[in-house]
Amino acid sequence: MSVKTFTTGNGNWSDNAKWGGAKPTSADIVVFDASSGNCTIDEAAYCRSIDCTRSTNYTGILTHNADTMLLIGDATAGDSNVALRFSSEMTYIPVNYKSWCNFISTSATEQTVNFKGKNTGNVTYSAVSNGNWKLTGNQGSSTIDTMVAVNLIKGNINLNGYDIHCGYFKTSETYVRTLIGGGGKIYCRSGILNTPASDSNIMGLWRMDETSGDIIDVCGLNNLTYNGSLYNQSGVLNGAIGFDGSDDLLKNLACNFNFGSNWTMSFWLYMSSSNTTYNNIMAYYPSVGAQQLYVFNTGKLNFYTNTEGMQQWDTPLFGLNQWNHVVFRTINNSCTLYINGVAGAAKTVTMPAGDATADFRLGWEEMASRQWHGYFDEVSFYSRGLTDEEIKQKYNRNLGILFDAAVSTNLTLTTPPDIILNNAGNVSFLGGSKNYGNLANLSMVGNITMSGTNTFKSFGITQNNNTANICGSILRRR
């Protein structure tokens, strides 16, 4: 075990020279002090612990790039049993929710974690065998990105009277876990938006949960005829509709929503195999013009109009053999494509005029070698451009909090934390009968699902519309 101190001057974590010869490994204690320059985490970074207050307080900027992991912890506890300790004077910048921070441990020794209330990207608490963490400061704040997930996979977390702020909180593994509140709270700030009852601009919503017959539009406007038999496949949310890559498609030959210059379409898509060129997602044919959305065989998405031809996005890419959330949005002919919450560059595309009724198809426009092979789930159409925040929330699958366990005894709640949900989405307590803290400020549009008889100190709900359901048994503990 050695101590690695980031030197003066600005630089990257991957620069060996900034660490005096070699960048840290999982065996090293990482120190940032008053002499350390600004640092950018630009690759998967490993360390035993991070301390920004070990000698003098760090006052620089630590920038954590997206899609990079900071893995903290190893066979024994860090310096003075510190896993992570930020300073109040420093600035921590996660580029987005994909700036991952993973705590990994093989030791039962309790290690402290103190983000000093600074907002984070996704945070995971895991362990190879044992893991034991205690907060000594708040994790995140009220301005946390609503996409940020906090996940307890294995081991113990003691909130120790401090708070976790996140988009959604999840503990749904089969491993043995303990969550100790000690007077702390979990704030979940994800949202569930854009249901027919809450958004007059939603013109089509297909859940894809049918087991036979037409695919129903929840808005009651545009049911789809299914040319196929792969009903009730495993989806992102409940069921999905399958496409065999041969002749399956969904269609409505008199669809009554108008694709103009402001609209959004959202899909959950799974592609099992690709054609040699195009794989059709959507096609819209008014009397004059055409609009089509494809996945190319390279994973790049393409949007075609008869007015301007094919437009291709080089990034982000569509992944094969996995669920992808795809959103196409146009605002005054400025078009943006999103895959799994990440936006590509905006492109200007003049949209052709639509009609009061037109031919609308999903999964195949009935041209050779363009059939979709895979699954569709949770498809929606809006006659406006959704905001970036709304698109993030849709990718977040409207989760608020999830307590789940295949073996209910594997999750223990000790002096359980209060749960505060602001505009939160679906809430699940599926770990069997348990005692919880207070559940408060739940601005309900999603559903509450429970297994067993769950006991709360108090249970307060503000319901925004009539789409919410509560399934399960609730007791109030006095």
Q: At a CB cut-off of 8 Å and minimum separation 6, what does 122 contact?
A: 97, 98, 99, 100, 101, 148, 149, 150, 151
% helix, strand, coil for the chain, step of 5: 5, 45, 50
- Calpha distance 273→280 (Å, rounded): 12
Does pLDDT of 321 surpass 90?
yes
Asked whether the whole model's pTM tops 0.85, one would answer: no
- Calpha distance 291→67 (Å, rounded): 32
Average predicted confidence (pLDDT) for the chain: 86
For tokens 């002499």, name the residue.
35
Q: Name the more confident of 2 and 355.
A: 2
| Dihedral of the alpha carbons of 223, 444, 428, 195, in degrees to the nearest 10 | 20
Predicted confidence band at 46 (pLDDT cuts at 50, 70, 90)?
very high
Does pLDDT of 349 surpass 70?
yes
Predicted confidence band at 469 (pLDDT cuts at 50, 70, 90)?
low
Does pLDDT of 449 surpass 80?
no
Predicted confidence band at 167 (pLDDT cuts at 50, 70, 90)?
confident
The two beta strands, 49-51 and 11-12, are unpaired
Q: Kind and range of the H or E element at 72?
A: strand 68-72
- Calpha distance 328→118 (Å, rounded): 33
- Calpha distance 473→459 (Å, rounded): 12
Does pLDDT of 208 surpass 60?
yes
In this predicted structure, which of 106-120, 153-167, 382-396 has the lowest mean pLDDT? 382-396
Tell me the CA distances in angstroms from 375 to 39, 127, 392, one per residue in order: 43, 34, 21
Work out the burial of residue 399: count CB atoms within 10 Å of its CB; fewer than 13 is exposed, 13-18 middle, 19 or more buried.
buried
pLDDT, position 467: 44
Instruction: Give the three-state DSSP class for 276.
Output: coil
The percentage of residues in the chain with a pLDDT greater than 90, rounded to a whole number, is 53
- Calpha distance 128→114 (Å, rounded): 22
Does pLDDT of 476 surpass 70?
no
**Domain 202-395 in this protein, CATH class:** mainly beta
Report angle CA 188, 190, 196 to the nearest 5 degrees: 135
pLDDT, position 304: 95
Express each pLDDT in 76-98 by its tens digit: 555 678 999 999 999 999 998 88
Which string of DSSP letters, residue by residue, matches 228-272? S---SEE-SSSEEEEEESSS-EEEEEEE-----SEEEEEEEEEES
Express each pLDDT in 324-348 by its tens digit: 999 999 999 999 999 988 899 999 9
Q: Name the more confident of 469 and 188.
A: 188
Does pLDDT of 413 surpass 80?
yes
Dig out the tokens for 474 from the structure.
């609730």
Q: In one letter, which amino acid is 328?
A: F
For tokens 């429970």, name the residue.
450
Express each pLDDT in 236-247 by its tens digit: 777 899 999 999
Predicted confidence band at 428 (pLDDT cuts at 50, 70, 90)?
confident
Range of 13-17, 184-188, 283-287, 319-323 with top mean pLDDT: 13-17
- Calpha distance 224→227 (Å, rounded): 10
Dig out the tokens for 331 from the structure.
């605002």
Q: Kind and range of the H or E element at 389?
A: helix 388-395
CB 49 within 8 A of CB 70: no
Q: At a CB cut-off of 8 Å and minimum separation 6, what does 385 contact?
A: 262, 263, 264, 329, 330, 331
